[in-house]
Chains A and B, each alone.
Chain A
Amino acid sequence: MKRKKYREFLLFVGPPFLVYAVFCLYPTLSGILGAFTEWDGYSQTQRYTGLANFRKLASDEIFWGALKNNLFLVAVPGVLTLVLGLYFASALRDERTPGRSVFQFTYLFPNILAGVVVATLWWFVYSPSFGVVKGILKTLHSALEAARLDAVTHWLGLKELAGQAWLEPQYFMRALVPMLVWAETGFFVVLFLAGMQNIPRDLYEAARLDGASEWQVFRHVTWPGLSPITVAAVTFAIIAGMKTFDCIWVMTQQHVPERSHVLATYVYQKAFTEAHMGYGTAVALVLLIITMGAILLAQRGLARE
């Protein structure tokens, strides 16, 4: 009887596990090991180099730059999308808001588009030949000038920005933020809405009866009630920020300048464009470790709250 059970188990779990192990687990483990070798893409030899790749990494400026860019992409779009997501979710939770379902429906849409499509769309927006961004900035500049808010203009550096090609390396990361916020916010709206719907209504009733203001309701009922969702949201923001590849790859027309690298594009460049497969894999391993570390830190930090 037992043997039959094992056989059946094998029948059901065996094939899936086989495919998964061959095409997912094995490459992962091989990748972790490969990070300790140097592997020129042409010859068929792989040399064991121990920690050499990691030592090289430590002094590799481009790597640190890429890491900084990733952290920027986790922090800035992350915070913005979370805040906006919370805000819009709260606004939509209120049943008195007209057109709720329409808003809910449309907000999520950019999120299901392919990264490639979003990046191409925004590449057009930023393209100097069309000048959509330039136009907006120029209008903003003139408006502020008319309102005599010169100090603000100067502080924002609008005059310089209005004349720039946005895809210059110094501004590139910042230029990505509006695009990422546009694409990701909907997801957080939906996520927080779902979370809010799980908060029992009696708590809200009780708070209302106690005469709590809108803000107090949010702070004492909604926010704590959302905490598991918030953890999930932060985790998601971290993973998304660290994983970024598609949009940068497309916006730089598949030729990423050094300053604009993120870890994922740097891995591709090293492993495939420059044939340093071992080094590239080492960078990927560090990417994995940092992502996991960040998630653990975030979860612990939020749990304490």
Chain B
Amino acid sequence: MRKLLRTLVFLSLGFWFLLVVVPVVWLAYSSFKTTDAIFASPWRPPLSRHEATVENYTHAWGKSHVSGYFVNSLATVSSALFGTLLLSAMAAYGLARLRVRGRRAVYYAFVAGMIVPAALTLAPLFELLRSLHLLNSLTGLALVYVAFSIPFSVLMLYGFFASLPEEVREAAVVDGASEWQTFWHIFLPMARPGLVTVAIFNFLGMWNEYLLALVILVDPEKQTLQLGIANMVVDLGYRCDWGTLLATMVLAMLPVLAIYAVLHKRVVEGMIMGAVKG
């Protein structure tokens, strides 16, 4: 009886596995089929010569401007990521190590930002960026991403910085190092695991983000990858170009997949910390 139960459980695990994997695999091989082939026989992998094509990718990359979207997403996210890491580490260090009165209040002020739903800030952000002439710019979007990522990153890094030994810092001070040097050369490298986790968590969030980008970016040249995909779905009503859309989705998934494959454990760590501390 036990055996039967265990087999059933295993079958259910296998079923879910297939459910998760099949659509993604389908997406991957269908992106190499022409749109007609996709419509004619949606399930068949492109085994025959006249069905298989790399055209979807070249078309997406070139004519459909996906290369531009990719660059936009990459530039925005990496700049925002660096900004977030640097600023959050600085703030976490300052809050954790510098015994200043009122630092509790500042800490709570930072962390409070995590509750903010993006929807509430849409209209004010639009107005704010407009008056700063940062509307419709990737720089504006990157700044917004940094600002929204700081609360959680500070929260996470605070723990790291708080747990590092004080003797190290004292020794550095004795050696005549300034606070900044201590931070930059000692504590930052020591907090590297935390930084990596925070970096991954933020990368995923920013790469996949949609709503803020929708509000802030207007011109077609400035669109990020996710905006591009959503726009392509709308265009499907007029230009039946499924092949290009599938190829674009695969391109959008690749960085995320790469990070997930290599740094799987960190991703899990980040997500768990995200949920528990939130």
Measuring CB to CB, which residues of chain A are less than 8 angstroms from any residue of chain B?
5-6, 8-9, 11-13, 15-17, 19-20, 22-28, 30-32, 34, 39, 84, 87-88, 91-92, 96-99, 102-103, 105-117, 120-121, 123-125, 129-130, 132, 182, 185-187, 190-191, 194, 228-229, 232-233, 235-236, 239, 242-243, 245-246, 249-250, 253-254, 263-264, 267-268, 271-272, 277-278, 280-281, 284-285, 287-288, 291-292
Contact = CB atoms under 8 A, between A and B. Distances in A.
Contacts of A253: 233-234, 236-237
B230 A250 contact: yes
B252 A272 contact: no
B248 to A, nearest CB: 9
A37 B208 CA distance: 32
A114 B126 CA distance: 23
Contacts, number: 260
Interface residues of B, number: 86
A12 B93 contact: yes
If over half of B's interface residues share one DSSP class (helix, strand or loop), that class is named, otherwise mixed; here it is helix
A25 B98 contact: no
Interface in B65-94: 83, 87-88, 90-91, 93-94
B120 A284 contact: yes
A297 to B, nearest CB: 16
Contacts of B123: 31, 34, 39, 271, 277-278, 280-281
B211 interface: yes
B143 interface: yes
B94 A13 contact: yes
Contacts of B237: 253
Contacts of B13: 88, 91-92, 97, 99, 103
A202 B98 CA distance: 41
Given A17-B91, A34-B123, A97-B13, 14 more contacts: A16-B90, A16-B154, A27-B125, A28-B121, A28-B124, A32-B120, A91-B10, A105-B264, A130-B42, A190-B271, A242-B117, A268-B211, A278-B123, A288-B117
Contacts of B10: 91, 97-98
Contacts of B257: 109
Contact of A6 (B100, B154, B272): B100
Given A17-B91, A246-B211, A25 B113 contact: yes
